[in-house]
Chains A and B, each alone.
Chain A
Amino acid sequence: MGRYLTLLTLQLRTSALLAAQYRWDFLIDGCISLVWAATAIAPLLIVYAGRSSQAIPGWSMNEALVVTGWFILLQAILDGAINPGLAAVVDHIRKGTLDFVLLKPADAQFLVSTSRFQLWRIVSVGTGVAVFAVAFHRLGRWPSLLGVAQALLLLCVATMVLYSMWILIVSTAFYVVKVDNLTYMFSSIFDAARWPSSVFRGLLKLVFTFVIPLALMTTYPAEALLGRLEPVTLLYALLASAGFATASRTVWLLSLRRYSSAGG
């Protein structure tokens, strides 16, 4: 365990060095993060402009803004911590260089997952938090301590689920080789998480609650911050993340057996 902590610090330090080398990226990534945040917020502004308080059933403008804040925050985690390392796996598999990772005396999944972080994406985390601040300022109240605790727990759960889904998707690269653009596909599925889950109906609602639990990632944490999350939901979220984690680990280990390297 201690060894893995040392490894993680090492990997983080390498990413930090890289980030420090490209200091201008901080400014550029900051601007881009603001532009993307604007694309997430603009539709909400137009949906709610000059309308009654509840254009989306059960959500006022400011409450929906909290969901958007979570969307921005989780996208930052996805792009900053989850995508970069795992996107490299797809490349490793295609070129056969996964050999070098497998030869190292540490768990391969751990090594590839921590191999690269885009640290400047922290700017987007700031943007997300700023959106929360604006939303709650306009709501005229602040989240309760219990709400914040629940939300933080759900943040961990959501990250776990996102990560596990990524592992599941990357595992398909062992079977279908030339799929460099899987990253984009996953991000585009995640795009649906930008709205409160009550906009989805029928089959889509079922899919986005149980199969690809997008509701768990943005809507539930927002409800927690707003102080209206039912405790049962929290339990369900914890179970779901445990399930996803186990499934993804199993699939990863099974897929790894299929790996046969590639002509050096």
Chain B
Amino acid sequence: MTRTLRALPTLLKIGIAEAIAYRAEMLVWVLSTTMPFVMWVMWSAVAQVSPVVGQSGRAYGSAAFSAYFLCTFMVRQIVASWASWEMNFEVRQGTLAMRLLRPIHPVISYAMGHLAALPLRFAVATPVAVALVLTAAAELPHDPRIWALWVPCMVGAWLVAFFSNIAVGTLCFFMESSLKVMEVWLACLMVFSGYLIPLDLFPPALRVVAELLPFRYQIGLPVEVMTGRYAFAEAARLVAIQWAWAAGLIVLSFALWRTGVKRFQAYGG
């Protein structure tokens, strides 16, 4: 345990050096997340005709939509996870063997790789945050407690995103490749997380489904907290559920990893 902790700063340093070396690739990834802007354009065109009234009775005008989708873009940058692609690639190429040789749990080393990308991703999110404050400050909550809660909410969102990726990734130990599973997961994420459509605008039946699934805790919840959709008590309750999901996914990931890695044969390599 202490050995792992001592290795963390070095791992982070390597990760950051890698992220800087491949900055062009990273920039392309960032430019690929245009979806929030695409949705924003459509929803504002709709809102210009007449404001859209959500389930909660609160109306979404153009300003509310710009706040929502700018926040979605930022949250998406920070909670991005690509662990399942990394795992599938390494299992197929056999290079996972290299990770297994290191005296540190591979899941931790994947996590460090992700965390190391955060400084660059924050740098991308910052101008969007400035734009948000300049254009839609009125839509943001003024209660400092909400902003204090937003930090654990972001951490929880990152945990849900990362460990759901690991969980789907470990499935490639049991089947040849879990990339198609990930694609289905991704499509569900888009619909049920509030990435395309604010959850508040869902028809009641679908909304119930969305609230039972883990997806909304990855993107929708932090965005809703940022745009002041909830009072403090309600937000705290939802963050608690989010952390319960995160804990469940962590346990599941490590359990799947432990049974799955025994089947790993390092073919290819």
Residues on A lying within 8 angstroms of B by beta carbon are: 28, 31-32, 35-36, 38-39, 42-43, 46-47, 49, 51-52, 54-57, 176, 178-182, 184-185, 187-189, 191-192, 194-195, 198-201, 204
Whether A179 contacts B45 by the Cβ 8 Å rule is: no
Contacting A at CB under 8 A, from B25-50, are: 25, 28-29, 31-35, 38-39, 41-43, 45-46, 49-50
**Distance in Å from the Cβ of A199 to the closest Cβ of chain B?**
4
Among A46, A49, A200, the residue within 8 A (CB) of B41 is A200
**Distance in Å from the Cβ of B15 to the closest Cβ of chain A?**
17
Whether A184 contacts B29 by the Cβ 8 Å rule is: yes
Residues in B neighbouring A187, C-beta threshold 8 A: 32
Residues in A neighbouring B196, C-beta threshold 8 A: 39, 42-43
A185 to B33, CA, bound (A): 8
Q: Can you sample 9 A-B contacts with CB below 8 Å?
A: A35-B187, A39-B190, A42-B191, A43-B196, A46-B197, A46-B203, A52-B49, A181-B29, A185-B31
A201 to B22, CA, bound (A): 35
Residues in A neighbouring B50, C-beta threshold 8 A: 51-52
Whether B49 contacts A55 by the Cβ 8 Å rule is: yes
Tell me if B183 counts as interface (CB < 8 A to partner A): yes
Residues in A neighbouring B180, C-beta threshold 8 A: 28, 32
Contact A47 to B42, CB < 8 A, known contacts A179-B25, A180-B25: yes
Q: Taking CB as reference atom, which chain B residue is nearest A36?
A: B187
A49 to B203, CA, bound (A): 8
**Distance in Å from the Cβ of B56 to the closest Cβ of chain A?**
15
Whether A56 contacts B28 by the Cβ 8 Å rule is: no
A194 to B190, CA, bound (A): 15
Contact A32 to B203, CB < 8 A, known contacts A181-B25, A188-B35: no
Whether B49 contacts A188 by the Cβ 8 Å rule is: no
Contact A195 to B28, CB < 8 A, known contacts A35-B187, A39-B191, A42-B197: no
Add 14 more A-B contacts to A32-B183, A32-B187, A204-B41 (CB < 8 A): A39-B190, A39-B196, A42-B196, A43-B42, A46-B197, A51-B50, A178-B25, A179-B25, A181-B32, A184-B28, A188-B34, A191-B38, A200-B45, A201-B45
Whether A185 contacts B32 by the Cβ 8 Å rule is: yes
Whether B45 contacts A56 by the Cβ 8 Å rule is: yes
Tell me if B188 counts as interface (CB < 8 A to partner A): yes
Among B33, B42, B45, B183, the residue within 8 A (CB) of A188 is B33
Among A32, A36, A184, A199, the residue within 8 A (CB) of B42 is A199
**Distance in Å from the Cβ of A230 to the closest Cβ of chain B?**
22
Which secondary structure dominates chain A's binding surface? Answer: helix
Among A35, A38, A49, A184, the residue within 8 A (CB) of B32 is A184
A195 to B201, CA, bound (A): 19
**Distance in Å from the Cβ of B176 to the closest Cβ of chain A?**
10
Residues on B lying within 8 angstroms of A by beta carbon are: 22, 24-25, 28-29, 31-35, 38-39, 41-43, 45-46, 49-50, 52, 180, 183-184, 187-188, 190-191, 196-197, 201-203
Whether A189 contacts B34 by the Cβ 8 Å rule is: yes
Q: Taking CB as reference atom, which chain A residue is nearest B23?
A: A178
Q: Taking CB as reference atom, which chain B residue is nearest A28?
A: B180
**Distance in Å from the Cβ of B197 to the closest Cβ of chain A?**
5
A189 to B33, CA, bound (A): 9
Q: Taking CB as reference atom, which chain A residue is nearest B189?
A: A39
Most buried by A among B38, B50, B188, B203: B38
Residues in B neighbouring A46, C-beta threshold 8 A: 197, 201-203
A47 to B41, CA, bound (A): 13
A188 to B197, CA, bound (A): 17
Residues in A neighbouring B49, C-beta threshold 8 A: 52, 54-55, 57
Whether A57 contacts B45 by the Cβ 8 Å rule is: yes
Whether B38 contacts A192 by the Cβ 8 Å rule is: yes
Most buried by B among A28, A47, A204: A47
Whether A199 contacts B34 by the Cβ 8 Å rule is: no
Residues in A neighbouring B187, C-beta threshold 8 A: 32, 35-36, 38-39
Whether B32 contacts A47 by the Cβ 8 Å rule is: no
A21 to B101, CA, bound (A): 35
Whether A199 contacts B29 by the Cβ 8 Å rule is: no
Contact A31 to B46, CB < 8 A, known contacts A49-B203, A178-B22: no
